[in-house]
Amino acid sequence: MQISMYQASAPRFANTLKNLSVILDKAQAYCEAKKYDPAALISYRLFPDMFQLSRQVQVACDTAKGAMARLAGIEIPKHEDTEKTFPELKERIAQTLAFIQTIKPAQVDGSEDKQIVMKRPSGDVTFTGMQFLLGHAYPNFYFHVTTAYNILRHNGVEIGKRDYIGQP
């Protein structure tokens, strides 16, 4: 046995997205306890030209749904990126999880060598399925989840590595 493309994708994205949702619960509870405006966290950036928290969550979701849809060869669900509150961001995650759960292993397995083309303003980039998943989707996905985590930690939310890793 080796690792199937499904095993390396859907359950991994789903696990971390669920953890991110719990992290956002803790951020919301923190704002309520401290009487902070949640918008102060949701619009926070670690540097002026980095994405704010809400965008980090949106892009984490987009990376997961885009990877699953591209590997399965189906249309990527559209989201409007209008989330401005913790419940809305959690709903975005829930919709992404629901989409991931519609994809069956047979739709993704065997996509290791499938050609995946990412359209970019600077020119299209072509990957094999495995290269796309392991070298592009994974590091991007964990980047945005970790940066969301770092924004919240930097602002005093009491979360720890266990919240991020969850039950692997």
User: What minimum distance in Å lies between the beta carbon of 149 and a copy of itself?
Assistant: 8
Binding mask 129-148 for a copy of itself (x = CB under 8 A): -xxx-xxx-xxx-xx--xx-
User: What minimum distance in Å lies between the beta carbon of 31 and a copy of itself?
Assistant: 17
For the chain, the straight-line distance linking the first and the last C-alpha, in angstroms and rounded, comes to 20
Q: How many CB atoms lie within 10 A of CB 72?
A: 21
Q: How many residues does the chain have?
A: 168
Q: How many CB atoms lie within 10 A of CB 128?
A: 15
**What residues contact 147, with CB distance under 8 A and at least 6 apart?**
46, 50, 51, 56
Nearer to a copy of itself by Cβ, of 99 and 132: the residue is 132
**Interface residues for a copy of itself in 26-55 (CB under 8 A)?**
46-47, 50
> Cα(94)–Cα(117) distance, rounded to whole angstroms?
27
How many residues make contact with a copy of itself (CB under 8 A)? 39
Binding site for a copy of itself (CB under 8 A): 1-5, 7-8, 12, 15-16, 46-47, 50, 109, 112-113, 127, 130-132, 134-136, 138-140, 142-143, 146-147, 149-150, 153-154, 156, 161, 164-165, 168
